């Protein structure tokens, strides 16, 4: 599925959550930012996490900036969400699976925007969750 510099690829056998991904992406990163969102299984998640983070276990989300925002550059990035893991973890955070995937997506977008874990990022997440009723 493609929409204005935004693609979603499902590499799992699961049905994708009903989340306004494009709208959220446009609010956080802007319409000109080119983003690829890929839903993957746990094996691919382990491979990516081991290669890029040195951790031999699956993770619920990984974000990769493909280039830096600069003068005249809107930026490009990729987000990988491990759908089975996100669905399993949703209950731990007292959320429904679609809601938790939306939360993870916001988290990944903020990393692409250059934010690191901490109170500033948490505040931005809170505002976006409120805006999108997540």
What is the value of pTM for the model shown? 0.91
| pLDDT of res. 67 | 75
State the chain's mean pLDDT as an integer. 91
Domain covering 6-131 in this structure, CATH number: 3.40.390.30
- Strand pairing category for 76-82 and 34-40: parallel
Q: What residues have CB less than 8 Å from 96, skipping those under 6 apart? A: 90
Are 82 and 46 a contacting pair, CB within 8 Å?
no
pLDDT band at 2 (very low <50, low <70, confident <90, very high): low
DSSP 61-95: EEEEEEE--BTTB--EEEEEEEHHHHHHHHGGGT-
- The rounded distance, in Å, linking the Cα atoms of 14 and 77 is 23
**Rounded mean pLDDT of 23-48?**
95
Structure tokens belonging to residue 86: 């996100």
Q: What is the mean pLDDT of residues 85-111?
A: 95
**Average pLDDT rounded to a whole number, residues 59-65:** 94
Polymer length in residues for the chain: 134
Position 71 scores a pLDDT of: 47
Segment 108-131 mean pLDDT: 94
Any residues with CB less than 8 A from the CB of 119 and at least 6 apart, and which?
A: none
Q: What does the pLDDT read at residue 5?
A: 84
- State the average pLDDT over residues 103-132: 95
């Amino acid at each position: 599925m493609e929409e204005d510099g935004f693609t979603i690829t499902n590499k799992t056998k699961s049905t994708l959550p009903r989340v306004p991904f494009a709208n959220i992406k446009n609010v956080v990163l802007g319409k000109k930012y080119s983003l690829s969102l890929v839903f993957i299984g746990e094996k691919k998640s382990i491979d990516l996490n081991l290669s890029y983070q040195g951790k031999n276990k699956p993770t619920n989300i990984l974000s990769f900036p493909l280039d830096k925002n600069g003068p005249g550059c809107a930026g490009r990035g990729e987000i990988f969400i491990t759908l089975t893991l996100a669905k399993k973890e949703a209950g731990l955070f007292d959320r429904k699976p679609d809601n938790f995937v939306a939360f993870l997506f916001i988290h990944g977008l903020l990393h692409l925007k250059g934010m690191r874990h901490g109170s500033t990022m948490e505040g931005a997440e809170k505002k976006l969750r409120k805006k999108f009723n997540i």
